[in-house]
Amino acid sequence: MNIEVHSSMDAIPVAEWNALISGNYPFLQHAFLRALEKFSCVGAHVGWIPRHLVYSKNNQIMGAMPLYEKHNSWGEFVFDHAWADAYQRYGVEYYPKLVNAIPFTPASGQRILLNSENDKETARLLVAAVNTLVNEGNYSGIHSLFPATKDFAILNQQQAISRNDCQFHWYNQGYTCFEDFLGRLKSKKRKNIKQERRKVADAGVKIRRLDGHTASADDWHDFTALYQKIYDRKYGMPAFNQAFFMEVARAMPDQIQLVLAARDRHCVAGALMYCDDATLYGRHWGAEHYIDSLHFEVCYYQGIELCIEKGLQRFDPGAQGEHKIARGFAPTRTQSLHWMAQSPFTRAIAQFVEREQSGVQRYIDAVSAHSPYNRDD
């Protein structure tokens, strides 16, 4: 029996790691995590330092957890800046901390990898090892971000503080085509979507859907430039780069969906999505300039069509965006877990989260009242 902490995916056997992943979840694939490291999307320079936990028995990996040592709260999408500020004001170190998460990826999914789904002993050993790592490394705590419901139940140990948030996801109700989906909507919402799609077509925009097999180097160059332009304008430094996108497309070609929009043969917008056996994940968007309704077409309607065509059950288009409700997306609860190590603020944080939970539930109830679907649906 052996538990190790690895600072590089290169030290972990590809086939053994991937064998632990459920349903081909894309963001835990060895190739995805390795490309983050290889092309400097993570590392000390951005405050995401790999500390992957691996449990082996008889030279066979039995379980693992993706872990990162964090020296900031950038790219987590579960906001704890107020907690960090409180620590700083009272002269207590909040960083470094550990996160059990996928960098820059607010997509719920597997956070503890087990050789057998019912292997409670391996799960117990991994959780105990994380707690030991927190204490020995003088981390302020461990934060599990966007765990799937099954993993949430495994990781929700004593003393953990549970947080909720809300995203907007689309669910496939056995639709046969996009028109079938539209037919389930209230007439006003259906008419609005048709108008938005017509505006894009009337603007002379042509849409191409590509995967890792069909997207060329020029396509990735165009998309990366558009993606980085959005970050330069709105968010600051982009987390990903063209080399990363091309490497992941090469290694996981069937799990990549690249939607590009062109006008007069010039690429003006694009969206990158990933898929597993059941879900499509919208991840990145970029545009050269504003074209009415183009964002909705590229990021939402093309994704819905892809889900229907591929028989995928759910479309997770990313964080935030109440405007998604009118376009067929439903409020969906997301979760996170937080263990604070010997913190004088544990009780205060727990009280903060308790009030926050009530607010999140009121928000979900409020937006649910604006469902675009006919009452029978």
Query: Do 202 and 274 have their domain in common?
Result: yes
For the cut 80, the answer to whether the pLDDT of residue 236 exceeds it is: no
Q: What is the rounded average pLDDT of the residues 85-91?
A: 92
Query: Do 74 and 121 have their domain in common?
Result: yes
In a domain, 318, yes or no: no
Query: Do 133 and 72 have their domain in common?
Result: yes
Beta sheet of 113-114, edge-to-edge order: 2-6, 52-57, 60-65, 113-114
In a domain, 327, yes or no: no
The answer to whether the peptide bond before residue 96 is cis (omega within 30 degrees of 0) is yes
Q: What is the pLDDT of residue 283?
A: 96
Length, in residues, of the chain: 377
Query: Do 46 and 178 have their domain in common?
Result: no
For the cut 60, the answer to whether the pLDDT of residue 106 exceeds it is: yes
In a domain, 30, yes or no: yes
Q: What is the pLDDT of residue 235?
A: 66
Place of tokens 């993993």: 151
For the cut 70, the answer to whether the pLDDT of residue 234 exceeds it is: no
Query: Do 152 and 203 have their domain in common?
Result: no
CA gap 206, 165 in Å, rounded: 36
Q: Which two tokens stand for residue 219?
A: 């396509």
Residue 367 dihedral angles phi and psi, to the nearest 5°: -75, -25
Look up residue 55 and give its amino acid: Y
Q: Tell me the per-residue pLDDT of 34-53, one tens digit each, with 9 for 90 and over.
A: 999 999 999 999 999 999 99
Q: At what angle do helices 346-368 and 81-89 cross, to 10 degrees?
A: 160
Query: Do 239 and 272 have their domain in common?
Result: yes
Q: What is the pLDDT of residue 376?
A: 65
In Å, what is the CA distance from 185 to each residue of 160, 241, 245, 314, 325?
A: 40, 38, 36, 17, 11
Q: How many domains does the chain have?
A: 2
| CB contact at 8 A, 67 and 130 | yes
> Looking at residue 222, which CATH number applies to its domain?
3.40.630.30
Query: Do 257 and 343 have their domain in common?
Result: no
**How does residue 377 score in pLDDT terms, banded at 50, 70 and 90?**
low
In a domain, 105, yes or no: yes
Place of tokens 């229907």: 308
Give residue 79's domain range. 2-168+332-368
> In the beta sheet, which residues pair with residue 6?
52
Query: Do 18 and 142 have their domain in common?
Result: yes
CA gap 286, 303 in Å, rounded: 15
Q: Tell me the per-residue pLDDT of 187-224, one tens digit each, with 9 for 90 and over.
A: 999 999 999 999 999 999 999 999 999 999 999 999 99
Place of tokens 């010039």: 266
Query: Do 117 and 21 have their domain in common?
Result: yes
| CB contact at 8 A, 91 and 84 | no
Query: Cα–chain-centroid distance for residue 137?
Result: 27
Q: Tell me the per-residue pLDDT of 331-343, one tens digit each, with 9 for 90 and over.
A: 999 999 999 987 7
Query: Do 193 and 282 have their domain in common?
Result: yes
For the cut 90, the answer to whether the pLDDT of residue 320 exceeds it is: no
Dihedral over alpha carbons 125, 79, 30, 8 (to 10 degrees): -80
In a domain, 322, yes or no: no
In a domain, 374, yes or no: no
DSSP per-residue codes, 4-20? EEES-GGGS-HHHHHTT
In a domain, 288, yes or no: yes
Q: What is the pLDDT of residue 321?
A: 86
CA gap 342, 175 in Å, rounded: 51
In a domain, 376, yes or no: no
CA gap 250, 368 in Å, rounded: 40
Per-residue buried b or exposed e for 98-126, using 16+ beta carbons within 10 Å of the residue's own CB: bbbbbbbbbbbbbbbbbbeeeeeebbebb
Query: Do 143 and 271 have their domain in common?
Result: no
CA gap 331, 261 in Å, rounded: 28
Q: Tell me the per-residue pLDDT of 247-300, one tens digit each, with 9 for 90 and over.
A: 999 999 999 999 999 999 999 999 999 999 999 999 999 999 999 999 999 999
| CB contact at 8 A, 268 and 205 | yes
Mode of pairing for the β-strands spanning 97-100 and 141-145: parallel
Please, which residues have CB within 8 angstroms of residue 94's CB and are 6 or more apart in sequence?
83, 84, 87, 88, 140
375 or 165, higher pLDDT:
165
Query: Do 133 and 86 have their domain in common?
Result: yes
